[in-house]
Structure 1
Amino acid sequence: MYSLILHGRRRSIELQTWRNLRDSVNLLQNAFAFSNPFSSVRAAADVSSRDGRKGQNFTVSYLVGTLGLTRKLSESISRKVSFEVKGNADSVLNLFRSHGFTDSQISGIITDYPKLLTADAKKSLGPKLQFLQSRGASSSEFTEIVSEVPKILGKTGEITLSRYYDFVKVVIEADKSSKYEKLCHSLPEGSKQENKIRNVLVLRELGVPKRLLFPLLISNGGPVHGKEKFDESIKKVVEMGFNPTTAKFVDALRIVQGLSDKKIEERVNFYRRLGFDGWEIFNKYPIFLALSEKNILNSVQTFLGLGFSRDEFAKMVNHFPPCIGLSSEMVKKKAGFLVKKMNWPRKSVVSNPAVLGYSLEKRIVPRCKVIKALMSKKLLGETGSELPPIGFVLKDTDKVFLSRFVRNYDDEELVAELMTIFTGDRAT
């Protein structure tokens, strides 16, 4: 399999007939066909949903008012943790301040690990901070280390806490002094954390940055366990040409480490039969190989059901592999909006498949409403109502979009109207 990896691009793609694929899709569809059994519990679900929204709304207001976070970021955090009273959260924030953390550090800690807001400040969080502070680092070093990897506070046991804390301290100091101490040499032989820290150090020496390294350190799973398998996987990923400074390197390691050679080969062969260059996609989007055959067939079914041809679907996947992992519901909503409501031809979506990865509510709809308004006023193109290329509308940053379609008009009232249209759909 290893030689297959290294020389995969040389292989020709074998195409299976799409009749077999459609048969597989139909079988899958029949297997999952069922009636809705949940109508009897809708009322209870509605109550639970309202309670959840209440907690989320309070959490958003608290984060904006207390920590100064943006509303968008606060809404994202509220989907991970929410509460309806501020007492416990206030205790957590006050605890951090009492240990010398700045407001900026506290905001970063909560953003990275929002579950701390619901932790018991007195019985759980306080003793951990006191223990770590006793490890000998200065006050500024202590707050820097915890701020860098706040999820350390989610670990239990003084031995585990101290080892991970000391490891992070060594890495941070190494960055400042250009020296590198191999902490794993000081670990007791056979400790549970020994192999993990050893493997993380290997990644560190390869150039994996801290932002990717530290999450692997404190994770319960992931690609940094074991020894022989890890060494073998690292060798493969490096020889495949992945850049250690990128997230793709870690994703590729996760796949090669987590799947057997046989399973990887089976997945690649399955994708080849569907018309995809599996290894080319793996290099662009490593976690592609983690998708099951059922996920792939569901995706095929969705796109064919929307009128895309088999060749168009293969082209989209080859150019933007993540589209095959999007939920069927979101693909239907986004493609339906772009093709049916905006009247862009399907070939525009095929040529720009990345647009299917954008947020419908926060990006696609607001921008398209601006375009519709300009078309209604006959301000676009030679005819006055010409639909611009889909890439011009959706792929650029907000700044570029506003410069091109809103702020380039001399009419102040028109600009104000367009800005209201653009921002109005983002209020929620």
Structure 2
Amino acid sequence: MTCDFGSMIFSLESSSHFRACKHGGTLVLPKCIVSPLRSRPSACLISSKHSLFSVSISSHHATLPAQSYPQQEEKSRQLFNDDITEFLLKECGVSDRQLPTINRKIKVPLSLRKFLHTARQVLQFFRDLGFTPHQVRTVIGKYPNLLTLKVDGLKPKIDLLTTLGLTGEDLAMVITRMPRILGSSLEENLNPKIRLLANLFGSEAHLSQAIKRAPDILLIDSNVTGNVAMKVKQMKSIGLLEDEIKDMLKKAPRLLCLTTETLDKKLNNMTNLGLSDEQIKQVLKKFPWILTLSVDKLQKDMDFLTHTAGFAPNKVCIYPLFLAFSVEKRLKPRFMLYKYLTVEQSSKRLPISLATMLSLGDEEFSRRFLNNLQTLELYESYISEPSKTALSG
């Protein structure tokens, strides 16, 4: 059978069902196109604008026997992935360790040429903003799909952050910590969110400071109005005034990232720790970050402070920062050293209270209490062996 494919090749190439692989001089025609040919196999030449392909025709498939379509497809995919990998390593500066994560996250379009063109524009955009190679590498590692976004869409979002006073190192720090901000819609997400948050914090300047502390507040629930209103209502329920809540949020803006369910759970837990609403209010005004600590950690610290160290709950309210310290690395070793020194100097009162000893910064604590080999070794043993008794040694 002799076939004239001259008039047929155009319709095949323009068909949505046509799939061909031209790698290595092989043209593969889908079974569904060729199967209607019921005559015996014969060989033809198909001309195209690129080259001539020698094709074997059968009632089941049409392909050169050299390589099957799946093999060619796999080879093409591998070459495509190799090009992406080379770009990420050489031009973006990512490490081999970052590659698996980036490859899982990135959504590369079918056109490698278009992807590389867009990605190189993105890289140059951030370099022009003053981002260091390390910052660019970090941003891509956290949010690789940034490489697929058009610079024309990124620039207005950067301009919006700049109007809030986030420039230079501040801007680079915010984007490096939370690059997904740039994936948010400008009109539907960032603009309305920033207007509401600026009103909540009192000014754009205060909002700018909050974003520097917790960039993820720009990624809170898209229903930002209802989200924030519910949290403010929850905090008002324990007697906090609106101005007090604003002050809390300025200190700990990440509270806005808590879900209403989590916030409710944290407030209830503080009640379960034996604190009254007034005491909870006192703690939150001094140390609002307490609401970002896990329930288990708070329970563990409170148990140690009240049952072992002997603090009354109202005393803990005066020093709420104690609840952020590690029991094993700070609270217990210092308490044990305090008890040891109390016994050693039983003839005279220690010139410092336990609360003050727990509060001292590491440098000051070391200068005052770890100034000789005996107490230094003892203190280190308390850290490495937390179960050791306070009077041992």
TM range, smaller chain: 0.5 to 0.7
Choose the corresponding residue for 1:306, options 270, 273, 281.
273
Distance in 1 between the 2:87 and 2:228 partners? 44
TM-aligned CA deviation for residue 394 of structure 1: 4.0
Checking the alignment, whether the CA contact within 8 Å between 2:342 and 2:349 is kept in structure 1 is no
Q: What secondary structure sits across from 2:307 in the alignment?
A: helix
C-alpha displacement of 1:348: 3.1
Q: 1:292 to 1:170 in 2, by over 3 A?
A: closer
User: What's the CA shift for 1:344?
Assistant: 2.7
Distance 1:196 1:275 in 2: 44
1:250 is matched with 215
Q: Structure 2 residue aligned with 1:193, among 126, 149, 162?
A: 149
1:263 corresponds to which residue? Answer: 227
Work out which of the residue numbers 65, 73, 87 in structure 2 matches 1:131: 87
1:352 aligns with 319
Number of matched pairs: 274
- 1:88-127 alpha-carbon deviations (Å, 9 max, x no partner): xxxxxxxxxxxxxxxxxxxxxxxxxxxxxxxxxx999865
Structure 2 gap ranges (5+): 1-77, 133-146, 388-393
Is residue 251–residue 286 contact of structure 1 (8 Å, CA) maintained in 2?
A: no
Question: Which of 186, 206, 224 is the aligned partner of 1:227?
Answer: 186
Q: For residues 166 and 212 of structure 1, what CA distance do their matches in structure 2 show?
A: 21
The one-letter code sitting in structure 1 at the alignment partner of 2:330 is: R
- The 3-state SS of whatever aligns with 1:413 is helix
- For 2:270 and 2:214, the matched residues in 1 are separated by 30
Tell me: CA distance 1:394–1:227, structure 2 relative to 1, closer, same or farther (3 Å). Answer: same
TM-score (norm 1): 0.53
Are 1:406 and 1:415, in contact at CA under 8 Å, matched by a contact in 2?
yes
Alignment equivalent of 1:418, drawn from 357, 379, 389:
379
**Distance in 2 of aligned mates of 1:378 and 1:344:** 22
The Cα shift of 1:289 comes to 3.1
Match of 1:184? none
Q: How does 1:252-401 map to 2 (within 5 A)?
A: 252-255=217-220, 258-276=222-240, 277-378=244-345, 382-384=348-350, 388-394=353-359, 396=361, 398-401=362-365
Matches within 5 A, 1:232-243: 232-237=192-197, 239-240=203-204, 241-243=206-208
1:198 deviates by: 3.4
Percent of aligned pairs with the same amino acid:
15
Q: Is the 8 A contact 2:309 2:335 kept in 1?
A: yes
Encode CA deviations 1:261-315: one digit per residue, 9 max, x unaligned.
Answer: 2332232123212212333322222232343444334333332333222211111
TM-score (norm. length: structure 2):
0.57
**Structure with greater helix share of residues:** 1
- The answer to whether the 8 A contact 1:196-1:224 is kept is no
Change in Cα spacing, 1:244 to 1:415, as seen in structure 2 (3 Å) is: closer
Instruction: Name the amino acid aligned to 1:268.
Output: V
**Who is 1:23 aligned against?**
none
Larger radius of gyration: 2
Alignment CA distance shift 1:203-1:244 (3 Å)? farther
Question: What is the aligned-residue RMSD (CA, Å)?
Answer: 3.9
Q: Structure 1 residues 199 and 395, CA, compared in 2 at 3 Å: closer, same or farther? A: farther
Deviation at 1:383, TM superposition (A): 1.9
Residues 1:313 and 1:156: Cα distance change in structure 2 (over 3 Å) = same
Shift of 1:130: 0.9
Q: CA deviation at 1:169?
A: 4.1
Q: Conserved in 2, the CA contact under 8 Å of 1:316 and 1:350?
A: yes
The structure-2 alpha-carbon separation of the partners of 1:212 and 1:425, relative to structure 1 and needing over 3 Å to count, comes to farther
3-state secondary structure, aligned to 1:383: coil
Which of 391, 406, 411 aligns to 2:370? It is 406
Which residue of the other structure, out of 119, 122, 126, is the alignment partner of 1:171? 126
Letter of the aligned partner of 1:337 in structure 2?
A: F
Query: 1:355 touches 1:395 (CA, 8 Å); kept in 2?
Result: no
Residues 135-146 of structure 1 aligned to structure 2 (within 5 Å): 142-143=92-93
Q: What SS does the aligned partner of 1:258 have?
A: coil
Which blocks of at least 5 consecutive residues in structure 1 are unaligned? 1-121, 178-190
